[in-house]
Structures are given as C-alpha cells and as structure tokens.
C-alpha cells in the first residue's frame, strides 16, 4: 500500500511538471495525432499580439471567431482586438461532399490559415489549442512556430457511450463531458437511456415510464445517482449544446431484455406468467418484453415516434443484447404459440418477429436502427449461411473474442459495423490490478491504458476487407459509475488512447510518442477539473 501510494504521488508530481519539462515543441500535446505534419524548423514564428486579426468566412463565423479568441486568450492571456488589418488568422470554409471533418492548418510568420469543412474548421481550432498547450515556451511569449498540418479522421464515427440509466447524470454534468469529448475530436455521444435500473427520457404519451421508472430510491433526490430523468426540453437543449461542438447524440432504448424499468411501470408488457412478479429497479434482472403481446408494439410505436421527433440523429439504438430468452419466451405459452405458428423450432427465433416489427416502426419514423451484435446466444446462431440481421441495420461488435467473426460476417452480409470490442473499449473495466470499480462481481478483465492504445479498429485487415467498419465506440457501462467524477476517472486517460485509434492512421501512431503527448493534456485536464486516473504505471522505471 505504501509503495502504491508513493508511486501515485511521484506520478502526480511528474505530470504537474511535465508541461515545463517535456512540452517544448508544437507537436508535444497533439492528441489525436494528425495524419500529415510538415515541420518548418527554419521559419520565423507567428506573433500573437494586438496587431493580429481574425478573418473568417464560414457559415458559423461568429462562433468560430469567438472560439479562436477564447482559445488564444486562455493560452496566452492576449485578447485579439476587432481590427481591419494586420497579421491574419484566416479561416476559409471549403464545402466538400467527401469529408466535412477534414482540414488544413498552416502557420507561418505572416498568418495562420485554416481551411476545411465546418466540422474540420472546429477540429483545426482544437489542434491549434493543443499546439499552444504543447509549445509552452513560445506560447508564453505569444509565438507559434511554423507548421503545416493536413488532417482528416480515419473513421467517420468516433463515439462514446454514457449510461445514465444505471446511475443518472444531471444535464450540466453531461455538458461538461461533451466539452472534454470535443477537445479530442469525438463526434458521437450515445446515451443508454433505458435499462433494468431506470428509464431516463420523458415520453409524454406514457408519463408513467418516468414517474415509476426514473425513481428507484424513495429517499433520494431528483438529480441522481438513483433518481432522475431528462425532460424532452432538456434533451433538446443537450442536443443543441452538443451540435455546437459537432457532436451527434444517439439515443439507446434497450429491448427486448434489460426492460425492468418499463415493466415496473407497465407489467402487462411482459410475459403473462411473470406479470405479477415484483420488479425492483436496480436489483431485478432478466425480464423481457413479451414477443407475442400486441401492446408492446403499440407502446413502442409511441415511444419511438416521440424519441425520433426529439433527436435529429438518423439513428436509434435498440439494444438487442443479453436477452434471457430461456427465462421468459421459452416459458411463455403465448410466445410458444407464436413460435409454433411461425414454424420456428427455437424461442430465440422469435427475435425475427420481435425486431421485424420494431425495425418497421423505426423506418416509419424515418430513422435507421443500430443493434449490439449477438452471434451465438440470443438470435439463432449466426454463421456463413444464416445471419439474422437485416442489411440496413448497423451493428456494434462488443463481446470479448468474437470481433474477428463479427467483422467477417457483417462484411459478407452487407452490414455496417461499429467497433466496440470489450477487450479494448469497455472503459468500465478496471485499469490496473486492484484498481477496481466499486461494484465488481462478474470478473471483468483489466484493460490498461496501453491495451486501449494498442487497439487497431481495422484488426490489421486491408481497406477492402474492413471498408464496412464505419466507426469506433468507447463504452462506460455505469453499474459502478455513480457520478461524473467516476465517469471521468474511468474515461481519462484511456479515452484519449481510443480517440487516437479512431482518428489517426496506424502509421501515425506510436505508444512512446503518445505517452509524451499525454502528459501536457493530463495537466490541462486537471486544471479543467477533470478527475482522471493518474496512469502511474507508465512512469515506472524499468
């Protein structure tokens, strides 16, 4: 214990001093690493002073101007004036159908020039901020060394999943997390809004969902961790806040399992033999919506219609994982009758009927569905000849060890795939031996910072073999994550490793380089109030 404590203290001291000791050049804090950098060591620096001006030609010019002004003021203390002439910081919007997130950033002694799509310009400003963070000596003098960067993401979807269903996260806390995501070029936030432990989104046509499903602790308040939900107006506010930072919010409504919260409010939606059973939010598990109950589809028609009207994203995630078929549909007379009528031999085949109806509802509301990919324990076993998912459904690979097979089958059958393999991206897993979450009873493996960094979302495959992989997602299942401080502790710094895996090509990535670039960013996160875990192990002497 004494040794571990001393290691922690030494690591904190190293990080606090790292900016002064190591971050002395203009790539020292770049995360994720840009995909093309040209250093101009012999050129004169750009000087930030009262003679520098901003010229901006973008659809959101006021926002971008203010963002650059605030970025420079935060790093240098210099507030750029409103002027007509001087050394220029020039921002040019170049619309492109190829990649709205690409950008170029060119810095010489005469000007800073940013070109790109709207999202790309925003990301260029984040890169500029990291240049100022890393090149501390020059930044303190109001100087920026010459550099040329051409950059675009390896993957179009770079997501984080938060789980306010298990432990509710107040609106302002989610906004704070969004701010941190944006710094490292994440562009999707998936909110896991319904599960056994809570229903966290207002549905006006069925108010009992939140009246019952959002409150599992009678003595708790309305703002977490056990109680609370987002009103539709709050969710719209959050969506707007995220969109200003080029982050899309995707709702997840987990069905047909993980459904205790809705069954606590409407027990008639479960299999008839389980309707009278007690349903305790937070402790009861393994109950499912009944596949043969028409009211299930009627209620979800209302739910999906309202959710679709709130979220601009074209996607709705419907879960589809870990359903306890044997404990529900296999013992339900109505489900068994439906199974026999359809000519099926196994209760799990009722997933075809259940999701056939749910996916039709999603399509009627002009959305597309995402599902967790299950290969061998929920749907009929998947193989080269039987793959139960429609091709217009995007799948997420997650089960440890099954990702190579999932990549192969989705490629053959034409499904887009998001990469969230548990062994690399499940950030509720402990980060070091004996550094465990408060709740740990299912034998989670240790997933270190270095393990996360080694993640190659393409699994070493050729571009042709992996062209259907559209993105990456880091997940934070919240059984043990009770508040935003614990969210940050589990996400940072591992989330920065995954950010680089999602953005940077393998050729631009280096563990040794990342460890150095990490240090000024950790120091900066500390100043912002982010309660990250100190990765003391990477500072140990070998």
For the stretch 265-308, pLDDT in tens is 999 999 999 999 999 998 999 999 999 999 999 999 999 999 99
Query: Taking the domain 36-151, which CATH number applies?
Result: 3.30.379.10
Maximum average pLDDT range among 212-226, 378-392, 438-452, 503-517: 503-517
Reported pTM: 0.93
- State which H helix or E strand residue 3 sits in: helix 2-21
pLDDT of 362 reads 98
Q: What's the DSSP call for residue 270?
A: B
pLDDT of 221 reads 86
Residue 434 has pLDDT above 90, yes or no: no
d(CA 89, CA 112): 5
Catalytic residues: 195, 258, 322
Residues 6+ apart with CB under 8 A from 507: none
Q: What is the mean pLDDT of the chain?
A: 91
Q: Does residue 507 or residue 383 have the better pLDDT?
A: 507
Confidence of residue 1 (pLDDT cuts 50, 70, 90): very low
Can you state the angle between helices 350-364 and 294-310, rounded to 10 degrees?
40
Confidence of residue 385 (pLDDT cuts 50, 70, 90): low
pLDDT of 14 reads 52
pLDDT of 383 reads 64
- For the chain, domain boundaries: 36-151
pLDDT of 443 reads 73
The stretch 392-419 carries a mean pLDDT of 95
Helices (H), 365-440: 403-413, 422-425
Q: What's the DSSP call for residue 477?
A: -
The stretch 128-136 carries a mean pLDDT of 96
pLDDT of 525 reads 97
Q: How far is CA 60 from the centre of its chain?
A: 25
pLDDT of 80 reads 87
d(CA 129, CA 152): 17
Residue 540 has pLDDT above 80, yes or no: no
Could you tell me what percentage of the chain is helix, strand and coil, using 3-state DSSP and rounding each to the nearest 5? 40, 20, 45
Residue 255 has pLDDT above 70, yes or no: yes
């Amino acid at each position: 214990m004494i040794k571990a404590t001393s290691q922690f203290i030494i690591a904190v001291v190293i990080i606090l001093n790292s900016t002064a000791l190591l971050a002395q050049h203009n790539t020292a804090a770049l995360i994720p690493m840009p995909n093309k950098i040209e250093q101009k060591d012999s050129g004169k620096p750009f000087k930030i002073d009262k003679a520098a001006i901003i010229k901006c030609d973008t659809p959101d010019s006021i926002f971008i101007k203010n963002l650059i002004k605030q970025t420079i003021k935060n790093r240098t203390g210099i507030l750029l004036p409103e002027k007509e002439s001087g050394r220029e910081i020039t921002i040019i919007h170049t619309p492109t159908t190829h990649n709205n997130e690409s950008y170029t950033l060119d810095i010489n002694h005469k000007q800073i020039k940013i070109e790109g799509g709207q999202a790309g310009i925003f990301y260029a400003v984040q890169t500029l901020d990291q240049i100022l963070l890393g090149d501390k000596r020059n930044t303190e003098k109001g100087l920026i060394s010459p550099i040329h960067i051409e950059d675009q993401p390896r993957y179009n979807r770079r997501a984080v999943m938060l789980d306010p269903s298990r432990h509710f996260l107040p609106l302002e806390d989610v906004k704070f997390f969004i701010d941190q995501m944006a710094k490292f070029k994440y562009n999707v936030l998936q909110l896991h809004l319904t599960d056994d432990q809570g229903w966290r989104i207002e549905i006006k046509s069925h108010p009992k969902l939140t009246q019952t499903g959002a409150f599992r602790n009678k003595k708790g308040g309305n703002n977490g961790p056990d109680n609370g939900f987002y009103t539709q107006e709050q969710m719209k506010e959050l969506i707007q806040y995220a969109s200003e930072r080029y982050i899309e919010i995707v709702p997840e409504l987990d069905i047909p399992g993980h459904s205790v919260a809705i069954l606590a409010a409407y027990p008639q939606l479960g299999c008839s033999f389980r309707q009278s059973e007690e349903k305790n939010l937070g402790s009861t598990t393994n109950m499912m919506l009944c596949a043969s109950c028409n009211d299930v589809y009627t209620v979800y028609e209302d739910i999906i219609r309202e959710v679709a009207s709130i979220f601009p994203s074209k996607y709705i995630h419907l879960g589809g994982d870990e359903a306890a078929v044997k404990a529900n549909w296999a013992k339900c007379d109505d489900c068994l009758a439906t199974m026999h009528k359809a000519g099926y031999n196994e209760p799990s085949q009722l997933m075809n009927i259940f999701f056939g109806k749910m996916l039709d509802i999603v399509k009627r509301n002009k959305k597309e569905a995402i599902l967790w990919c299950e290969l061998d324990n929920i749907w009929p076993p998947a193989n080269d000849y039987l793959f139960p998912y429609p091709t217009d459904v995007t799948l997420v690979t997650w089960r440890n060890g099954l990702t190579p097979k999932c990549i192969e089958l989705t490629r053959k059958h034409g499904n887009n795939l998001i990469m969230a393999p548990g062994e690399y991206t499940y950030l509720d897993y402990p980060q070091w031996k004996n550094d465990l979450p408060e709740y740990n009873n299912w034998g989670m493996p240790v997933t270190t910072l270095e393990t996360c960094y080694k993640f190659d979302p393409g699994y070493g495959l050729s571009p042709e073999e992996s062209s259907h992989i559209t993105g990456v997602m880091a997940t934070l299942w919240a059984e043990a994550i009770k508040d935003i401080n614990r969210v940050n502790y589990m996400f940072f710094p591992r989330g920065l490793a995954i950010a680089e895996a999602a953005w940077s090509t393998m050729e631009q990535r280096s563990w040794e380089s990342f460890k150095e670039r990490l240090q000024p960013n950790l120091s900066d996160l500390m100043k912002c109030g982010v309660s990250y875990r100190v990765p003391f192990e990477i500072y140990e002497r070998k």
